[in-house]
Structure 1
Amino acid sequence: MTLVRLTDVSKHYGSVRALEGVSLEVNAGEITCVLGDNGAGKSTLIKIIAGLHPHDGGSLRIDGEETTLGSPREALDRGIATVYQDLAVVPLMPVWRNFFLGSEPRKGVFKRLDVDFMRRTTRSELLRMGIDLRDVDQPIGTLSGGERQCVAIARAVHFGAKVLVLDEPTAALGVKQSGVVLSYVAAARDQGLGVVLITHNPHHAYLVGDRFVLLRRGTMAASHDRDSVTLDELTRQMAGGSDLEALSHELRRTPGPGTPRD
Structure 2
Amino acid sequence: MSAAPVLALRGVSKRFGAVQVLTEVDLEIHAGEVVALVGDNGAGKSTLVKTISGVHPIDEGAIEWDGRPVQITKPHDAQHLGVATVYQDLALCDNLDVVANLFLGSELGTGPVLDEIAMEQRARELLDTLSIRIPSVRIPVAALSGGQRQVVAIARALIGNPKIVILDEPTAALGVEQTAQVLDLVERLRERGHGVILISHNMADVRAVADRVAVLRLGRNNGVFPVAGTSHEEIIAAITGATDNAVTRRQARTAAAVKEDAR
| TM-score, reference length from structure 1 | 0.88
Amino acid paired to 1:199: S
Q: Which residue in the other structure is 1:72 paired with?
A: 75
**Corresponding position: 1:56 with 2:63:** no
3-state SS of the aligned residue for 1:242? coil
| TM-score, reference length from structure 2 | 0.88
Q: Which residue in the other structure is 1:127 paired with?
A: 128
Task: Pick which of 40-49 and 131-140 moved more.
Answer: 131-140
Q: Which residue in the other structure is 1:205 paired with?
A: 206
8 Å CA contact 1:203, 1:231 repeated in 2: no
Q: Which residue in the other structure is 1:115 paired with?
A: 116
Task: Pick which of 112-121 and 150-159 moved more.
Answer: 150-159
Amino acid paired to 1:184: L
3-state SS of the aligned residue for 2:24? strand
8 Å CA contact 1:40, 1:215 repeated in 2: yes
Amino acid paired to 1:153: I
Where do residues 23-172 of structure 1 align in structure 2 (5 Å cutoff)?
23-107=26-110, 111-172=112-173
Q: Which residue in the other structure is 1:258 paired with?
A: none
- Structure with bigger gyration radius: 1
Amino acid paired to 1:144: S
8 Å CA contact 2:101, 2:156 repeated in 1: no
1:133-185 Cα distance to aligned partner (Å, 9 max, x none): 11111111221121111112222223211100111111121222111101101
Q: Percent identity between the aligned chains?
A: 42
1:27-49 Cα distance to aligned partner (Å, 9 max, x none): 00000110012211011011011
Q: Which residue in the other structure is 1:179 paired with?
A: 180
Structure 2: gaps of 5 or more residues: 250-263
TM-aligned CA deviation for residue 98 of structure 1:
0.3
What is the aligned-residue RMSD (CA, Å)? 2.0
8 Å CA contact 1:166, 1:198 repeated in 2: yes
Amino acid paired to 1:200: H
Amino acid paired to 1:189: R
TM-aligned CA deviation for residue 230 of structure 1:
2.2
Amino acid paired to 1:99: L
Structure 1 segments, 4+ long, off by >6 Å, are none
Equivalent pairs, count: 247
